[in-house]
Structure 1
Amino acid sequence: MIERDTPRETLPPPTFEDLLRTVEEMNTPDGFKAELIRGKIVVSPWSELRYYRPMRVLREQLGAHAPEGHVADIAPFLFRFPAVARAYGPELFVADEAAFKEDGRHADAAALSLVAEFTSVSTRDADWAEKLEVYGRLVPVYLVVDVQDAEITCFSDPSPHGYRSRQTVSFGKPLDVPEPFGFALETTGFASGA
Structure 2
Amino acid sequence: MIERATPIDALSAPPAFEDLLRTAAEMDTPDGYKAELIRGKIVVSPFSRLRYSRPMRLLREQLQSHVPDGCFADTSPFLFRFPSAERGYGPDLYVAEEEAFEEDGLHADGAALSLVGEFTSVSTKDADWNEKLDVYGRLVPVYLVVDMQDSEITCFHDPSPHGYRARTTVSFGEPLRIPAPFDFTLDTAI
Query: What TM-score does the superposition give when structure 1 sets the normalisation length?
Result: 0.92
Count matched residues.
Answer: 182
1:179 match? 180
1:165 aligns with 2:166: yes
Amino acid at match of 1:42: V
Tell me, in whole angstroms, the C-alpha distance in 1 between the residues paired with 2:72 and 2:48: 20
Tell me, in whole angstroms, the C-alpha distance in 1 between the residues paired with 2:146 and 2:14: 34
Identity %: 72
Change (3 A) 1:117 1:10: closer
Tell me, in whole angstroms, the C-alpha distance in 2 between the residues paired with 1:10 and 1:115: 35
Q: Which has the higher contact order (CA 8 A, sep 6+)?
A: 1
- Runs of 4+ off more than 6 Å: none
Partner of 2:73: helix, strand, or coil?
strand
Tell me, in whole angstroms, the C-alpha distance in 1 between the residues paired with 2:70 and 2:58: 20
Tell me, in whole angstroms, the C-alpha distance in 2 between the residues paired with 1:21 and 1:61: 34
1:4 match? none
Partner of 1:23: helix, strand, or coil?
helix
RMSD, matched Cα: 0.9
Question: 1:116-148, CA deviations, whole angstroms, 9 ceiling, x for partnerless residues?
Answer: 000000000000000000000000000000010
Amino acid at match of 1:52: S
Structure 1: segments with no counterpart, 5+ residues: 1-7
- How far off is 1:25 after superposition? 1.2
Partner of 1:65: helix, strand, or coil?
coil
Change (3 A) 1:153 1:28: same
2:3 match? none
